[in-house]
């Protein structure tokens, strides 16, 4: 079983993020969920993004890096949307990553001084008509090609569809994400 650090999305460390982590734990993994917003949650993605802009995306990433420093280097880095920033940064800059699970977002490795480390598995999961993912899709495709990873698309428009505390939650798609992630984590 794997040790995973899961970084939350722009709405914060919601009950739905905790529930997703609990499902990974139920599969036998150790999962850490650092709070990059220091207890704050937001009703909308837009409000959470505004908060991240206010404190600075560099601060969000630095908080993620600091949380990972307390863990062994041999972890799987996972991120939901905004949480992909610290997850991807750590995969690219911290030796020892055992895999990467990116939900709802992707970035070019050049943002972190790339390239993608050889041998680190990658999965990216997003909905086909997610307007937030539209601008990330070319980065996701490039990253999957660079890493030899997999990009999984699910029918629908939901952005944070794996968060059971939000209206856009899709239980069936989330079950499939977790089923597919089992291959990466195994």
Q: What element of type H or E holds 100?
A: strand 99-103
> Count of H helices and E strands in the chain?
7, 6
**Sign, Cα dihedral of 132, 97, 22, 49:** negative
Q: In which domain, by residue range, is 87 found?
A: 3-185
Tally of CB atoms within 10 A around 115: 11
Q: What phi and psi values does residue 150 have, to the nearest 5 degrees?
A: -130, 140
Residue 56, phi-psi category: left (phi > 0), alpha (psi -120 to 50), beta (remainder)? left
> What string of DSSP letters covers 113-160?
T--PPTT--EEEEEETT-HHHHTTHHHHHHHHHHHT-EEEEESS--SS
How far apart CA 81 and CA 52 sit, in angstroms, is 12
Structurally, the chain folds into a number of domains equal to 1
CATH of the domain at 114: 3.40.50.1820
Q: pLDDT of 61-113, one tens digit each?
A: 999 999 999 999 999 999 999 999 999 999 999 999 999 999 999 999 999 99
> Are the C-beta atoms of 62 and 34 separated by less than 8 Å?
no
Q: Is the pTM of this model over 0.75?
A: yes
How far apart CA 34 and CA 153 sit, in angstroms, is 27
Q: pLDDT of 21-33, one tens digit each?
A: 999 999 999 999 9
Residue 114 has what pLDDT?
A: 81
Mean pLDDT over 6-16 rounds to 98
């Amino acid at each position: 079983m794997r040790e995973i650090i899961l970084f939350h999305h722009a709405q914060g460390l919601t009950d739905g993020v905790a529930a997703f982590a609990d499902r990974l734990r139920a599969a036998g993994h150790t999962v850490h969920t650092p709070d990059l917003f220091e207890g704050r949650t937001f009703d909308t993605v837009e409000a959470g993004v505004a908060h991240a802009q206010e404190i600075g995306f560099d601060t969000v990433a630095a908080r993620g890096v600091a949380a990972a420093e307390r863990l062994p280097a041999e972890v799987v880095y996972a991120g939901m949307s905004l949480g992909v920033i610290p997850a991807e940064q750590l995969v690219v800059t911290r030796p020892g990553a055992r895999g990467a699970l990116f939900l709802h977002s992707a970035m070019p490795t050049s943002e972190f001084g790339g390239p993608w480390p050889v041998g680190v598995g990658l999965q990216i999961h997003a909905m086909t008509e997610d307007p937030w993912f539209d601008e990330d899709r070319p980065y996701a495709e490039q990253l999957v090609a660079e890493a030899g990873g997999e990009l999984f698309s699910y029918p629908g428009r939901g952005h944070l569809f794996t968060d059971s505390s939000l209206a856009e939650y899709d239980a069936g798609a989330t079950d499939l994400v977790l089923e597919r992630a089992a291959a990466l984590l195994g």
